[in-house]
Structure 1
Amino acid sequence: MRATIIATSLLAGTMALGHEGCRPKALIYRGPAACEDCPESIASRLNSSAPHFEVKFAGPNEDIDITAEALRDVQLYVQPGGGDLDPAWKHTKKYKRIIRDYVSQGGRYAGFCLGAYLAGKDRGFDILPPGSNATDEIDQPGRQVPDQRDTVIQVDWTFQTGKRKGATDKGRWVYFQDGAVIQLLQERSATILGRYSSNGDIAASVTPFGKGWVGVVGPHPEADELWYEGLNFTNPDGIRFDIVHDFIEEIMVQ
């Protein structure tokens, strides 16, 4: 989860999303459960990914809310990062049945940080496999980051798409703020994209739910330059978007 982001990303150019009818459509939650800049950063990454999405925002204060009708022709629903789980759940629990029905009938869900927590069973949409959940990585044995500060964390990422498919980058640095660990009861039916380098906990996965698919990632691979500048720290590997593109594209190829 990410409680505050000082800088606001600029979407000039990014949200000029074209008019081609063949592009997949994505609906991104934007509202009180999302942190400042999180929906817009994900929109930028969706637009620059290989599927080159057509993006719309939805929420209680947007032109459209999250409804079955709004999701009918959408290929991907995105739940971005936000603040603490309890207040976020108060704002989003009304969408639980809508999102569960959407995914179970063949839709795709991408949850980033808080969005990963909200995929879980407790105070969430309950779209992870039975017996699985998302909880705090900072509370796990061997964790690299022990508190809720905005920082960077290392993950071992195995690429599932593109030219680097099958390659693993060890110890890649990504933006992190009280991110989730994905606790899967069984890993056989899951695609594990990322693990926290310090202890091997699952940092990113794609799992089935009904006829659809659920992708969740605990850190913030979508973070751009302004996230780091606003809090005056850097990414030792530089700011690269290959991980977030791989995450998005793996959800879509299922």
Structure 2
Amino acid sequence: MRAGRGAAALALAAVVLAASACGAAPSGGGPDGAARAGRAPRADAGGGAAPDPQGRPLALVYRGPAACEGCPEAAHDLLEHDGFAVRYIGPEEEVRFGPDALSGAALYVQPGGTNGQEVSTAWHLLQQDPGFSPELVRAYVRGGGHYLGLCMGGYLAGHDPGYGLLPGDSGQYISSGGATVTDEQDHLVDVSWRGQPQRMYFQDGPYFDLEGPGAQVLARYTNDRAAAAIAPYGSGRVAVSGPHPEAPAEWYRDYGLSDESPAGLALGGDLVHTLLGTAPKS
């Protein structure tokens, strides 16, 4: 588990015995990203975020104890690069969960979780937020909204525990047959993205088993499990990725990996704009 995460999360992780961990937040990811993000006018508890004065589509990125340090900021930078106005939502943020919190948002993002954190722990921590409920997110997507789940957020798009947004479920890639990565350390993982070989930053991310009409697999691991996919949910859509397309260059550097961040940024843009049905920023 990342240094700096609170004692409550450590205690919970010690007692919760559930499925896989996810997320990779190397040192140095958080504070710089937070400083770049700026602050929007504070919303009332449960109120929606203020519209962007430049008219950009609004993305709300969860930042709180169920996310790793640096993961929300990395998602922020990916989305800002692709033309979104980005606000953070969480118990200590300018926008907080409540009945109308997601109104006006084009996208809700559930980012990666802390190293070593169980999926059930992250789910429990989310539900400790006094304004949060899973049905808020489900109703938002069902009504035409968009969900982006990155690593832990991909696990949580599945079921038991999770939002139940996928027409199928998520599972732990490193435990799947034929996996090329078999431990919880930080690695590059080989995938085929739209038929083209790519290497992506990976730390114990999920695969996805999807069934039903409308599901689209953008990337597969070498064992043919889905690594990134998009699926309908009600009138909305859900995008999930096991690897981290949002990983900045310092994540690769911190773990001695070759820097694939420019390619990852492009893949993340492809995932987001396919989700929303919009043209990527040129």
TM-score class normalised by the smaller sequence: 0.7 to 0.9
1:97-246 → structure 2 map (5 Å cutoff): 97-129=135-167, 132-158=168-194, 168-170=195-197, 172-186=198-212, 188-196=213-221, 198-235=222-259, 237=260, 239-240=262-263, 241-246=265-270
Percent of aligned positions that are identical: 36
Deviates further, 9-18 or 19-28: 9-18
Letter matched to residue 29 of structure 2:
T
Deviates further, 210-219 or 91-100: 91-100
- Tell me if the contact between 1:152 and 1:176 (Cα under 8 Å) persists in the aligned partners: yes
- Tell me if the contact between 1:5 and 1:35 (Cα under 8 Å) persists in the aligned partners: no
Q: Distance in 1 between matches of 2:189 and 2:149?
A: 18
Q: Distance in 1 between matches of 2:231 and 2:225?
A: 16
Counterpart among 125, 136, 142 of residue 91 in structure 1: 125
- Tell me if the contact between 1:17 and 1:55 (Cα under 8 Å) persists in the aligned partners: no
**Structure 2 CA distance for partners of 1:91 and 1:69, relative to 1, 3 Å:** same
**Structure 2 CA distance for partners of 1:105 and 1:12, relative to 1, 3 Å:** closer
- Tell me if the contact between 1:7 and 1:229 (Cα under 8 Å) persists in the aligned partners: no
Q: Distance in 2 between matches of 1:140 and 1:28?
A: 29
Letter matched to residue 169 of structure 1:
Q
Is residue 2:81 matched to residue 1:38?
no
Q: Report what 1:59 is aligned to.
A: 90
Residue 3 of structure 1 and its aligned partner are, at CA, apart by 5.1
Residue 8 of structure 1 and its aligned partner are, at CA, apart by 2.0
Q: Distance in 2 between matches of 1:222 and 1:211?
A: 26
Residue 61 of structure 1 and its aligned partner are, at CA, apart by 1.6
The number of equivalent residue pairs is 237
Letter matched to residue 25 of structure 1:
L
Residue 66 of structure 1 and its aligned partner are, at CA, apart by 2.1
TM-score by length of 2: 0.79
Give 3-state SS (helix, strand or coil) of 2:232's partner: strand
Letter matched to residue 210 of structure 2:
L
Deviates further, 56-65 or 97-106: 56-65
Unaligned runs of 5+ in 1: 159-167
Deviates further, 89-98 or 149-158: 89-98
Letter matched to residue 246 of structure 1:
D
Is residue 2:277 matched to residue 1:253?
yes
Deviations 1:72-116 (A, max 9, x none): 111100000003212101012443010001000110000000000
Letter matched to residue 146 of structure 1:
T
Taking only aligned residues, the RMSD between alpha carbons, in angstroms, comes to: 2.0
Letter matched to residue 15 of structure 1:
A
**Structure 2 CA distance for partners of 1:114 and 1:12, relative to 1, 3 Å:** closer
Q: Report what 2:8 is aligned to.
A: none
Letter matched to residue 213 of structure 1:
R
Q: Report what 1:162 is aligned to.
A: none
Residue 126 of structure 1 and its aligned partner are, at CA, apart by 0.7
Q: Distance in 2 between matches of 1:117 and 1:37?
A: 18
Q: Distance in 1 between matches of 2:271 and 2:164?
A: 20
Deviations 1:147-203 (A, max 9, x none): 111111011001xxxxxxxxx312x110000000011134x421111111x211100
**Structure 2 CA distance for partners of 1:27 and 1:151, relative to 1, 3 Å:** same
